[in-house]
Amino acid sequence: MKAVKIIAIVLLVAFVVIQFIPVDRNQSDSVPKTDFMLVNDVPSDIKDKLRVSCYDCHSNNTQYPWYNKVQPVAWFLEGHIKEGKSELNFNEWDALSNRRKASKLRSIIKQIESGEMPLASYTLIHKDAIFSEEETKQVVKYMENLKDSL
Partner 1 sequence: MKNLKMNIAVMLLLAVSFTNAQEKEKMGHKHHHDKMMNMKSDLKSEAILSDYFNLKDALVADDSKKAAATGTKLAASLKAFDTSNYTEEEQKELTDIIDDAMEHAEHIAKSDIGHQREHFKTLSKDITDMVAITGSKNMLYQQFCPMYDKGSAWLSANEEVRNPYYGSRMLKCGKVQKTIQ
Count of C-beta atoms within a 10 Å radius of residue 60? 19
With binding defined as CB under 8 A, does residue 137 bind partner 1?
Answer: no
- Residues in CB range of 106: below 8 A, 6 or more apart: 147
Q: Which amino acid is at 52?
A: V
Measured from the CB atom, the residue of 74 and 93 that comes closer to partner 1 is: 93
Phi first, then psi: what are they for 90, rounded to 5°? Answer: -60, -30
CB of 144 to partner 1, least distance (A): 11
- Tally the residues of the chain: 150
Write the binding mask 110 to 129 for partner 1: x where contact by CB under 8 A, - elsewhere.
x-------------------
Binding of partner 1 by 2 (CB under 8 A): no
The interface region with partner 1, picked from 15-23, 36-44, 45-53, 101-109 by CB under 8 A, is 101-109
Please list the helix, strand and coil fractions of the chain in percent, rounded to the nearest 5, in that order: 65, 0, 35
Task: Say which residues have a Cβ less than 8 Å from residue 36's Cβ, sequence separation at least 6.
Answer: 42, 50, 90, 91, 93, 94
Compute the least distance from the CB of residue 106 to partner 1, in Å: 6
Q: How many residues bind to partner 1 according to rule CB under 8 A?
A: 9
Segment 13-52, which members bind partner 1 (CB under 8 A)? none
82 contacts partner 1 (rule: CB under 8 A): no
Considering the rule CB under 8 A, would residue 100 count as an interface residue with partner 1?
yes
Q: What is the DSSP letter of 94?
A: G
User: Considering only residues 63, 103, 121, 145, which one is a binding residue for partner 1 as defined by CB under 8 A?
Assistant: 103
Residues contributing to the site for partner 1 (CB under 8 A): 97-100, 102-103, 106-107, 110
